[in-house]
Amino acid sequence: MIDLKLLRASPDQVRAALARRGDASTTRLLDELEALDIRRRALTGQLDQLKAERNAASQVDARLMKEKGELPADVRAQRKQLGDRIAGLDVELRDLESELERKALFVPNLPLPELPDGDASHNRIVRTWGQPAPAGGPPHWDIGAALGILDLARGAKLAGSGFPVFVGAGARLVRALINFMLELHTREHGYVEVEPPFLVRREIMTGTGQLPKFADDAYHTEPDDLFLVPTAEVPVTNLLRDEIVDGATLPRGYVAYTPCFRREAGAAGKDTRGLLRVHQFDKVELVRFSRAAASAAEHERLTGHAEEVLRRLELPYRVVLLAAGDLGFASAKTYDLEVWSPGVGAWLECSSSSTFTDFQARRANIRCRPQPGSKPEFVHTLNASGVALPRTIAALLETHRQPDGAVVLPPALAPYAGTERLAAAGDG
């Protein structure tokens, strides 16, 4: 949630920042918020004045009671009228504040100044790693089928398109990747592992920004009013919801594996084939909490942790800084990690590393106390996929496929998979 005090104090600054996102509806929303805020302040002023009048009248009434033993009828009528006005304005103010908060939940985060302007065509490649193989060769869906480790047809039979089934060595590969990443992030990068619920309450989805704007993209259960997590970011960030943590414990990092569930899987076409866009997928997520002064450095550190996964898997990748018009709703700055997929002939996003400044912390009420006895302040939240499995598996199969059709696993992964080589049954 944006800082409404900042909107009130520096409306031009807020408008200019959000205009960089290129969404005209945000300007209209800011107009509505400012009008509501002006009305709220006017109502608050009226209420304060009326309550001051009531306090002064109570002193007069005390003297009248002492002198006459009761209040005259006309005085009682005046006091009732005053009380009714206060009660009515209290209700009006509560309704107005609810409307203000409801609308504020639809306002996206402010892009940081260093982002390029423009849409996705203005995204900037920050760095690359590895030597991409020439485009060509079989795509991962053909490799997986030939090895007998990926069954898209049976997945479609079970749940429809976008629900792949991994079989045999494919299922072991998924488990190996998850364990490899969890071990890397906990033992070498210092994260605390969490196993969160895969279903969360409505307010938890609101805290990280998935609701209310993106309700149609989520899987929702009735009558429990619970949501299947679209990412572990949602439950893990909200671990500290409504808490004030000791500033001395920051920064801190958590890592979690969860399956992820997303109804929106993209438009039909070539970009949806195989593992490119699915409704259910596995992901290891990194979440960090920081004080404001350290969050920029924490973002670079976080991004490096996700990059290390791809380096150890020996997958060429590039880091892309998103332009302001391509940012996610809650993000203030995002790096996409795109892995090279030679069979598909494209760079595939397998991780987004984002800083949310205090946007999520305001929605989830996550604060820290910098010093004992000091005033609490909102923390900064950050997260990155560390990494998502489907596109990583796609790139791994296509990159490490050998001329004989087998796939050689990188040394960092092989011990977790229990083999150095994936081959079709009977091929050795």
- 352 has catalytic annotation: yes
Q: What are phi and psi of 341, to 5 degrees?
A: -120, 95
- Residue 234: CB atoms within 10 Å: 28
275 in Cβ contact with 393 (< 8 Å): yes
Identify the CA nearest to 298 among candidates 363, 256, 253.
253
- Name residue 243's beta-bridge partners: 366
User: Which tokens go with 147?
Assistant: 């090895």
3-state secondary structure of 372: coil
SS3 200: strand
Q: Using CA atoms, how far apart are residues 127 and 335, in angstroms rounded to an integer?
A: 11
Q: How far apart are CA 79 and CA 83, in angstroms?
A: 6
The catalytically annotated residue of 262, 362, 363, 401 is 262
53: which DSSP letter? H
Who's near 57: CB < 8 A, 6+ residues apart? 78, 79, 82
User: Going by C-beta distance under 8 Å and a sequence separation of 6 or more, which residues neighbour residue 86?
Assistant: 47, 50, 51, 54
* Other CB atoms within 10 Å distance of the CB of residue 129: 15
Q: State yes or no: is 53 an active-site residue.
A: no
Residue of 424, 349, 383 lying closest to 170 (CA atoms) = 424
Cα separation values, 221 from 2, 226, 348, Å: 29, 5, 31
How far apart CA 356 and CA 329 sit, in angstroms, is 10
**Residue of 308, 314, 349, 377 marked active site:** 349
Tell the residue number behind the tokens 């489907």, with chain if given: 390
User: Is the CB of residue 381 less than 8 Å from the CB of residue 368?
Assistant: no
Q: Would residue 351 show up in a list of annotated catalytic residues for this protein?
A: no
98 is catalytic: no
- C-alpha 39/C-alpha 21 separation (Å) is 28
Residue given tokens 């084939």 in the structure block: 273
- Residue in 277, 362, 363, 401 annotated catalytic: 277
Active-site pick, 341, 351, 352, 353: 352
Catalytic residue of the set 351, 391, 398, 401: 391
Structure tokens at 427: 């091929």
CB-CB neighbours of 388 under 10 Å: 24
Burial class (CB in 10 A: 0-12, 13-18, 19+), 216: exposed
Q: Is 262 a catalytic residue?
A: yes
Which active-site residues does the annotation give?
Answer: 262, 277, 349, 352, 391
